[in-house]
Amino acid sequence: MKVFISYSTALDQIIALRLQTMAAVYGMTVYVPPATTRSAIAPMLIPEVQKQLNDSDVVLAVITHQPAPSALSEMNWTLASQGKLLIPIVGAGVPPQYYAHFPRYFVVNPEDPSQVEQEIVKFLAERQQAKAGRFGLLALATLAVALLLFNSDSQ
């Protein structure tokens, strides 16, 4: 599974990098944009970031304070994409109307972010296992059809 983690502030980046490290243990590929892409002006998505967004299965948006324009661009791009799952990871001070309409979100306790980080990685690992299971069933079905076709051709 490929995960993109959008963030705004230095604190958000710390959470993003911790998630990246934890998810790597489960074999996930996680991209965290470089800090140089977090500018104060509204940027266009640079090609590397756009490619990583496009290639991702899930986008996590770490928002503990006011999101940077780059993070907003990444979130808007994700929402405009068909089939991309955007999961907000918000600070306790973020008003619920900004994230409550999402099917899944996480609220970070600033005093102990590790608890929610573990929940997030567990959630991603479960999604990864479900995806692998669907892929395995598809591969098995394809093999069964191929064997049937091979058997009918040999008779």
Domain coverage including residue 42: 2-154
Identify the pLDDT of residue 149: 57
Determine the average pLDDT of the residues in 119-131.
Answer: 85
For the chain, how many structural domains are there in total? 1
CATH of the domain at 126: 3.40.50.360
Counting Cα atoms < 13 Å in the Cβ hemisphere of 119 gives 13
In which order are the strands placed within the sheet that holds 29-31? 29-31, 2-6, 58-63, 85-91, 106-108
Say if residue 154's pLDDT is above 70. Answer: no
Identify the pLDDT of residue 146: 52
Helices (runs of H) and strands (runs of E) counted in the chain: 4, 5
CA distances from residue 1 to 28, 29, 115, 127, 142 in whole angstroms, order as listed: 5, 6, 22, 8, 22
Determine the average pLDDT of the residues in 65-78.
Answer: 88
pLDDT band for position 88 (50/70/90)? Answer: very high
Identify the pLDDT of residue 81: 85
Record the tokens describing residue 142, joined without a space: 């394809």
Determine the average pLDDT of the residues in 39-65.
Answer: 86
Say if residue 140's pLDDT is above 60. Answer: no
